[in-house]
Structure 1
Amino acid sequence: MREQKFGLVINPRAKGVYKRYILSQRKFWEAFLKPEQYEVPESIDQTGSALKKLLEQGVEVLGVLGGDGTVNIVLNELMKLSPGKFPTILPFRGGTINALCNNIGTKDSPEETLRKVVGISRAHPTQFFKHLIRVTEDENGLMTQRYGFTFANGVFPKIFQVYYSYKNPGVGAATRLILKIFFTSAFRPGWAKSLLSPVEMKIEGRSGEIMSGKVRVLAVSTLESPTLWWKPFGPELNGRPQFHYLANAMTNPEVVLNMFDLFIGRSNHAKHLVSKADELKVECDTGYVLDGELFSVGKRLKIKIDIGPSLRFISL
């Protein structure tokens, strides 16, 4: 690692970073890196200029200290900058869920990861190539394009709104929400029904319609485990230019009867389709979640999801 030029971008607004390092003034990166080796943009809008400074220095390995949302912001800003050569991305566990870190095997604390970068601790670098998905939304002719790893709509925007209403979103909050849905489906069916009710949606692939009508969820990802323990997709992609997708159109009683299998990602129900593709077209009005961030909630959209570029990631 020491022979490659390293730069670190830090999101001080990421919940894990703010709570652990900014509030407590434990800015550990200052002890390991020179000031020109890291950037701490004060707002999301400044992320692009921060990345540009690091790229102009010839950074070959770009560390990202934040959560999955921070990684998403950085990757989208990199796409806008379109450098001649993309740096290798080293994500740090600075978020609440850290799905990307979980998928590539980054288990160390941010402090230990940086010690490995600078050579204080022994590193065993492993490289991965991961495709991004490209989400192009069409809102009455207004086109917007975003990149990420995991897309979900249907009930997921409502679930994430509840999740983000918790005082301290994170693994604990996510677990409490899942258990609440699981146990209240029997005792407070009205609350669970309002959260999990299917929505009008149309999903098409290259060969035609996949599902339409009342659809509960569409989830698309190039990660094998898009969040926590959930591994609903089956065999890994192993770098193929495809994404996993899951489409579910179960009725409420069917969801209740199969809820445990759905939560652990092993349902074989006829209305629970799991497959792979390289392009989907979706019409819905729920908005969507991309790498944990909410977009276009409540808007009627036409969305195209296809394969984006393959980037190099590293775990130490």
Structure 2
Amino acid sequence: MKPSGAGQGLGPAGRLAIDRTPLLLVNPLSFRASRGLAERAIALATAHGAEVECVDGSPEATSAAVERILARRQRHVIVLAGDGTVHALIERLAERPAGSWLPDLLVLPGGRSNVTAADLLPGFDALGGLRSGLEQLRAGVWDGSIVERSVLRIDQPGLPLRHGFLFGGATVDTIIRRAHAYRAGGSGLLRTGHLSTPWFALGLAARALQGRAGLTCPRLTVRADGLGDLDGRVSLLLASTLLHRRGLLDPYAERGTGGLRVTAVAAGAPRFWRSLPRLVRGRYSAAMNRANGYLSGRCDRLEVLGLAGYVLDGEKFDVDPARPVVVSAGPALRFFSR
């Protein structure tokens, strides 16, 4: 990547030229940034001549910041925030008309789970990544690539389109909503610290093995083009365009073709708990197939009937179970990757 030109002004035919001054978009209230990381990142960005936009994590604040970025045609946008703020940013950019000008995004881990940052820049440390990115942008060279990555498009008639990277339904939706309530319901490291979500999930898994988790599997009709259907109670429902290039979590089989990665598991799927370690790593056995209640792989379109709600990048949305929710590959955005 080699920048051509700098600064901002009027280009040919009076059009606004691209501003190549790096911009740091930071949410000082996000999980990791709020622990002193935001202040250090802002100081580092300022020392490297970058501009800084602070947001509070609300969609309104993020949308307003995006409008300012688009108005200036800010080419290089570095994002230090949690998945919620990244989701709000992605949502606003994905709503742009086809062919609209878009910035290049460098997403750093500033939140609790950081699934988007971990997918695009695996192993990147927030502060070290920011320093490296700023230095390389100043030199006009990036030691990775700029990739176009499609986001999910979530559509139900009568409701606004949604865009994001990681869609979860059935008990995934319930568990994440409960985890939010758990973290908001107390204090201490096991409620609000780094281990709060794993601790909650471990406790829930222990109760599930004893039949005491209280999780209700909704009755759904799941249709994944090219992969087949599931009809009945579903325990697990996931869809993403993320590649999960590193780490233990990659719960999709290498089957089928298409821009979506999908996994749905029937509530009565045999040997589910014994197969779970294989499932979360994407190492499906021959017996983990649709006939046995395991629907997983790539497709272009997922349709789900019966959903009352879902989570998208950790954000909660309610929908009408009487109308289908359609998940497909949406617009492509531009990201720094390596």
Give the TM bin, normalised by the shorter chain.
Answer: 0.7 to 0.9
In the TM superposition, 1:87-236 aligns within 5 A as: 87-119=103-135, 124-138=143-157, 142-164=158-180, 165-166=182-183, 167=187, 168=191, 172-186=195-209, 188-191=210-213, 194-195=214-215, 197-206=216-225, 210-225=229-244, 229-235=248-254
Shift of 1:129: 2.4
The one of 31, 38, 41 aligned to 1:28:
41
Percent of residue pairs identical? 21
User: How much is the aligned-residue C-alpha RMSD, in angstroms?
Assistant: 3.2
Runs of 5+ in structure 2 lacking a partner?
4-19
* 1:52-93: CA deviation from partner (whole Å, max 9, x where unpaired): 212222211211111222211101112335482111111011
1:279, 1:20 → 2: CA distance? 42
In the TM superposition, 1:37-48 aligns within 5 A as: 37-42=51-56, 43-48=58-63
Shift of 1:246: 0.7
The one of 252, 257, 260 aligned to 1:243:
260
Q: Is the 8 A contact 2:223 2:303 kept in 1?
A: yes
SS across alignment from 1:108: coil
Whichever of the two has the greater Rg, that structure is 2
1:299, 1:205 → 2: CA distance? 18
SS across alignment from 2:151: strand
TM-score when scaled to structure 1?
0.83
2:310, 2:247 → 1: CA distance? 19
Shift of 1:110: 2.4
SS across alignment from 2:156: strand
2:44, 2:23 → 1: CA distance? 14
2:111, 2:246 → 1: CA distance? 12
TM-score when scaled to structure 2?
0.78
* Partner residue, 2:71: 56
2:247, 2:169 → 1: CA distance? 18
* Partner residue, 2:8: none
Pick closer, same or farther for the CA change 1:28–1:260 going to 2, 3 Å: closer
Number of residue pairs the alignment of both structures matches: 304
Q: Is the 8 A contact 1:221 1:245 kept in 2?
A: yes
Runs of 5+ in structure 1 lacking a partner?
none
SS across alignment from 2:308: coil
Pick closer, same or farther for the CA change 1:293–1:134 going to 2, 3 Å: same
1:130, 1:64 → 2: CA distance? 16
Matched to 1:84, the amino acid is S
